[in-house]
Amino acid sequence: MDVGIAGYGAYVPRHRIKVEEIAKVWGADAPAYKKGLMLREKSVPTPDQDTITLSVEAARHAVRRAGVEPRRIGAIYIGSESHPYAVKPSGTVVAEALGMTPEVHCADFEFACKAGSEGMFVALSLARAEEMDYALAIGADTSQGAPGDALEYSASAGAAAFIMGRDRLVAVCEATYSFMTDTPDFWRREHQFYPRHAGRFTGEPAYFRHTAACARGLMEKSGTRPDDFRWAVFHQPNGKFPMRVAQELGFPRAKVEEGWLCPTLGNTYSGASPLGLTAVLDVAAPGDRILMVSYGSGSGSDGFIWRVTPRIEEVRDLAPRTRAQLEDHPVYIDYGTYAKFRGKIRKPCE
Amino acid sequence: MREVAVIGVGMNRWGELWEKSHRAIWTEAALEAVEDAGVDRVDAVYVGCMSGGLFVGQEHLGAMLAGELAMGPIPGVRVESACASGGLAFRQAYIAVASGAHDVVLASGVEKMTDVDGAAATYALSTAADQEYEGYHGVTFPGLYAMMARVHMHRYGTTRRQLADVAVKNHAHGTMNPLAQYRDPVTPEQVMESVLVADPLRVLDCSPITDGAAAVVLAPVELARRLARAPVVRVAASAHATDTIALADREDLAWLGSTARAAEQAYAQAGVGPSQLSFAEVHDCFTIAEVMVVEALGLADRGKGGEAASSGYTRLGGRVPVNASGGLKSKGHPVGATGVAQVREAVVQLRGQAGERQVRGARWGLTQNMGGTGASSVVHIFQGEGRR
Amino acid sequence: MIGTARYWREIPQRYRYEAARCTACAHVAFPPRTLCAKCRGRAFEPCTLAGEGVVETFTVIRVAPAGYADEAPYAVGLIRLTDGVRLMAQVVDCDLARLAIGDRVRVEFRRIRQDGESGILCYGYKFVPAT
Ligand SMILES: [Zn+2]
């Protein structure tokens, strides 16, 4: 029995800030940052956008492509490290907005940048177990980087949503694999506004080890090699990491570029590899195989193999394509506006 | 129904009255009206107040203010209809006297607006709009009138300069009113270069935040004639109409249906039409409001309200002076007091006591007081009988 | 402060744009009401508002009420939806200097306000340029 994606949707905010604009405030070397991070600009949420609002828009796009009645969706899982409430689910708001309530299972997930793919894994599993006809998984974030920190150049906003099911599939899930250890490379303690990270420790022992091991484990489990894939999507905390891991694994640049959104989107955290997948689905042909590996600090990776079905041709234009949202009508803002939008300006309490 | 007259008026100097409390401001105006009427008691007190709760945290104003008069356990009634609270309080007092329920009644209005900061005052005023479907979206009162202004400008070609001319005219009138909050003239350039509040409206298109009170005493015309302390001013018409509270539900965004309806009824009651009016005191909470009100009152054709101030038609010395008092714009707009102050101005004019700003030969005067974006309108017409 | 119950009871309208169509005269009430404003009918069937429309009029709020000051300046307009219903909402993600009567807009789900630093977050509809 096939299980997979019945509908997918993306949402990217319109506002952008360029690396130069941030660098000039902190006296940083913009060309060096751009080259080092392989990143030119990032998306910025407005003050009225948060993980909940991005999730609603992405999920509405997914519902349109799936063409299913929202009440038939039995679960909603939103993965994010920026849930607007510390206590109270994001999923209830999104489910209510979509008209999924009240017979719905709901949980908010958090696992740094891999919370979105966790939701996808659980939603797929429920569909496979025939617990329900469809389950909705969303990866969304409006992440914060501390002022002047390297993360400020990349931490961005976006959401991707997937309706998993057994029919109406646009992509069949052929295999999954997870790889996880306790590796504290990035964290945010309760009540802290900005996350912290372990500098260069976030590279080799964290991102590269987990992402590569997950991809290798997934291919071993499924008996596949890089040649078997038309596309590959990796978590993209910056532009450089996914390209390097792809090279190590033997995926040529051409297979990675379509889902490599980071250079102009930034790091959407829980939304990152899921958004990359939506961009690939926007262009993939029936029969194409896609390898997707997420990464979340702490640390772990979820891997998926997707095989695109002919239905993709019927649905991809039922909602805005991911790259169109990324490229059409961006609004560039200065650092002052960015600081205002992101609540980085200190004001008296109301 | 008995014929009713206004036999006494009172009003203090309006402005930012930092040292005076809500009740002190009211009591000053109320006592002046009672003394002007020459009566030693009133049978009931009507108080127009929009939001004692949000501005000073005080409700139950009927009892509190009746108590301030120290006239014993007389009825005290608080009337609320947003910015039309004062006009409606006057109308309720009128009905009480006309019906014979009471003989001598004090109609008053008060608002103490400066005890809260600007954002809180903006919020308090915004509660006159539909809170769930207008206020929720962050709209303010200047914003609502700005939306109406934009339609009027788009459809009828009303200009930015014409809006400014309303402010210029009313400020010019206000220089002659010793009780006005802002007694300074303004130029069209000053208005058009003032700070934007809600495009296209600027701060000099808006009436100010004001502390103030006004009061009048009503009695049957027979009693007024017997007392004969001042020229008798008769209430020739009293009308009140409503419209949808939410702007989104209006048929026509550039037309004040409630004012037109109340005016139509008032003209019929008084047996006069707009061409017979000597003057009008209207609700110019924003410049665009006066433009739309003069149309609804029939003082200008539909869509032509913008020309009325610019052409001089509604200026003192013009055909029908509008807001000789300075209007809300210059005199100030303590919301609950405004409608009563309009009545006071009408009485002062019809008695021939308006000094520098006296409308010559004034016989018929109209007052129009409006709540929200015109969800309620109260129109009164007064006739001066002259000295006997 | 909006408060929880008062916010919660409007969720069908604010999240899902649920309206009521009079079964007698087909007039659409948004929000739903007890009596039809056009014919005083009491029987309605549920319907959902169109997600697109045009700006019929608008303003740019520069001086905002308490709770909205952080987002000023922002545009608020009356939107005539393609189904004929008119409603008030903010128009966002647009160039405030170029916004004009007649602009086509579509709905998006946004945060509308928050009850202070620790109160509930309030969501609902805003409109964005339809391009
Ligand atoms: Zn009907």
Give the C-alpha distances (Å, rounded to integers) separating A181 from A207, A238, A298, A299, B265: 11, 22, 7, 6, 82
By DSSP bridging, strand A289-293 and strand A231-234 are: parallel
pLDDT at A189: 93
Residue C38 alpha carbon to ligand 1 centre in Å: 5
Percentage with pLDDT > 90 across chain C: 88
- Is B47's pLDDT higher than 70? yes
Q: Is C70 on the interface with A (CB under 8 A)?
A: yes
Quote the minimal CA–CA distance from A49 to chain C in Å: 6
Mean pLDDT of all residues in chain B? Answer: 97
C67 contacts A350? CB cut-off 8 A = yes
Tokens found for residue B67: 């108590």
- Is B388's pLDDT higher than 60? no
User: How would you class B132 by CB atoms within 10 Å of its CB: exposed for 0-12, middle for 13-18, buried for 19 or more?
Assistant: middle
Where among B174, B192, B227 does a domain terminate? B227
User: How would you class B328 by CB atoms within 10 Å of its CB: exposed for 0-12, middle for 13-18, buried for 19 or more?
Assistant: buried
Q: Is the peptide bond before A242 cis (omega within 30 degrees of 0)?
A: no
Closest chain C residue by Cα to residue B123: C65
Best A12, A48, A325 residue to mutate vs chain C (most C CBs within 10 Å): A48
pLDDT at C69: 86
3-state SS class at A211: helix
Assign domain A4-171+319-341 to its CATH architecture: 3-Layer(aba) Sandwich (3.40)
A168 backbone φψ class: left, alpha, beta (φ>0; ψ -120 to 50): left
Catalytic residue among B22, B49, B83, B285: B83
Quote the minimal CA–CA distance from B192 to chain C in Å: 16
3-state SS class at A171: strand
Where among B174, B199, B227 does a domain terminate? B227
| Average pLDDT for B95-123 | 96
Catalytic residue among B22, B173, B283, B333: B333
Which string of DSSP letters, residue by residue, matches B197-233? Answer: EETTEEGGGB----BEEEEEEEEEHHHHHHH-SS--E
B52 shares its domain with B67: yes
- Decide if B111 is inside a domain: yes
Q: Is C15 on the interface with A (CB under 8 A)?
A: yes
Q: Is A349 on the interface with C (CB under 8 A)?
A: yes
Percentage with pLDDT > 90 across chain B: 96
| Average pLDDT for A19-46 | 96
Q: Which residues contact A106 (CB under 8 A, 6 or more apart)?
A: A75, A76, A77, A89, A91, A92, A95
C92 contacts A48? CB cut-off 8 A = yes
Longest dimension (CA), chain A: 60
- Decide if B135 is inside a domain: no
B298 contacts B305 by C-beta, under 8 angstroms: no
| Average pLDDT for A71-95 | 97
- Is B386's pLDDT higher than 80? no
pLDDT at B119: 87
B111 shares its domain with B189: no
Quote the minimal CA–CA distance from A305 to chain C in Å: 32
Q: pLDDT tier at C117 (50, 70, 90 boundaries)? A: confident
Quote the minimal CA–CA distance from A270 to chain C in Å: 20
Q: pLDDT tier at B387 (50, 70, 90 boundaries)? A: low
- pTM value is 0.96
Domain that holds residue B217: 4-117+209-227
pLDDT at A350: 58
How far is the C-alpha of A198 from the C-alpha of A184, rounded, in Å?
8
B307 shares its domain with B184: yes
Q: Which of C15, C49, C34 is nearest to C123 (CA)?
A: C15
C11 contacts A48? CB cut-off 8 A = no
How far is the C-alpha of B9 from the C-alpha of B153, rounded, in Å?
39
A4 contacts A277 by C-beta, under 8 angstroms: no
Give the C-alpha distances (Å, rounded to integers) separating A142 from A113, B241, B382: 11, 50, 63
Q: Which CATH number does A173-312 carry?
A: 3.40.47.10
Matching CATH topology for A4-171+319-341 and A173-312? yes
Percentage with pLDDT > 90 across chain A: 97
Look up tokens 């303010």; give the residue: B140
Closest chain C residue by Cα to residue B202: C62
B191 shares its domain with B222: no
The CATH number linked to B29 is 3.40.47.10
Domain ranges of chain A: 4-171+319-341, 173-312
B255 shares its domain with B223: no
Give the C-alpha distances (Å, rounded to integers) separating B98 from B9, B220, B236, B295, B350: 19, 7, 11, 30, 21
Walk across the sheet containing A41-44 and list its strands.
A41-44, A15-18, A331-332
* Number of independent structural domains in chain B: 2
pLDDT per residue as tens digits for the range B144-185:
999 999 999 999 999 999 999 999 999 999 999 999 999 999
Domain ranges of chain C: 1-48, 50-131
Task: Pick B119's closest partner by Cβ from C37, C66, C126.
Answer: C66
What is the distance of C-alpha A290 from the center of its chain?
16
Please say whether the structural domain C50-131 has been given the CATH code 2.40.50.840.
yes
Q: A56: which chain C residues are within 8 Å (Cβ-Cβ)?
A: 109
Catalytic residues of A: 81, 113, 235
pLDDT at A244: 98
B147 contacts C90? CB cut-off 8 A = no
CB atoms within 10 A of CB C50: 18
B103 shares its domain with B186: no
pLDDT per residue as tens digits for the range A191-211:
899 999 999 999 999 999 999
B20 shares its domain with B94: yes
C16 contacts A99? CB cut-off 8 A = yes
Instruction: Say how many CB pairs under 8 Å bridge A and C.
Output: 53
Tell me the residue type at B77.
V
pLDDT per residue as tens digits for the range B234-261:
999 999 999 999 999 999 999 999 999 9
Best C16, C74, C123, C128 residue to mutate vs chain A (most A CBs within 10 Å): C123
Q: pLDDT tier at B5 (50, 70, 90 boundaries)? A: very high
Closest chain A residue by Cα to residue C69: A350
Q: Is C35 on the interface with B (CB under 8 A)?
A: no
- Is B93's pLDDT higher than 80? yes
Q: How many helices (H) and strands (E) does chain B have?
A: 14, 11
